[in-house]
Amino acid sequence: MNLSEVSISFKPKYKANDRTIVKSSVDAYRAFLVKWEEGLINYQEEFKLLLLNSSNHILGIVNLSKGGMDCVQVDFKIMYSIALKSGARKLILAHNHPSGKLTPSEADRVLTAKAKEAGKLLDIEVCDHLIITDENYYSFADNGDL
């Protein structure tokens, strides 16, 4: 028979107690900035995921996709397959606006709503969506948009 083997694994580098805890949008913003390539944050849109366990310990940050100068595509099948593979119970979404404007577009709002609804089906909470620049950020949760 011609069969393919599917293997699922997640190999964290840190023990559960040694992982950083996200207590606020500021913590999430700082975590994302550490992993954002400095030369691209003002040039090319990227979409990243912060994967959290049920206690808000960071499991990891994933570079989900890169786009152009003013848009980025997100594939929810890939996003949630990563979340499931890592055992994440919560997600914080983030993308940058190279323009420096922190106001969410209608496309940003639609994407956030879709991500939240998809997460409900899988019992994975979308805690926030950050729009990031190198100087500041916009939090959907802090602004009541989630």
pLDDT over 80 (residue 29):
yes
Mean of all residue pLDDT scores within the chain = 90
CATH 3.40.140.10 applies to domain 16-59+77-102+112-126+134-146? yes
Q: What is the pLDDT of residue 6?
A: 66
Weakest-pLDDT range from 22-31, 68-77, 98-107, 114-123: 68-77
Rounded CA-CA distance 141/46 in Å is 20
E strands along the chain, which residues?
46-52, 58-66, 90-96, 125-132, 137-139
What are the structural domain ranges in the chain? 16-59+77-102+112-126+134-146
Q: What is the pLDDT of residue 136?
A: 94
Render pLDDT for 68-87 as a digit per residue (tens, 0 to 9). Answer: 777 789 999 999 999 999 89
- Residues contacting 12, CB < 8 A, separation 6+: 19, 59, 60
The predicted model scores a pTM of 0.89
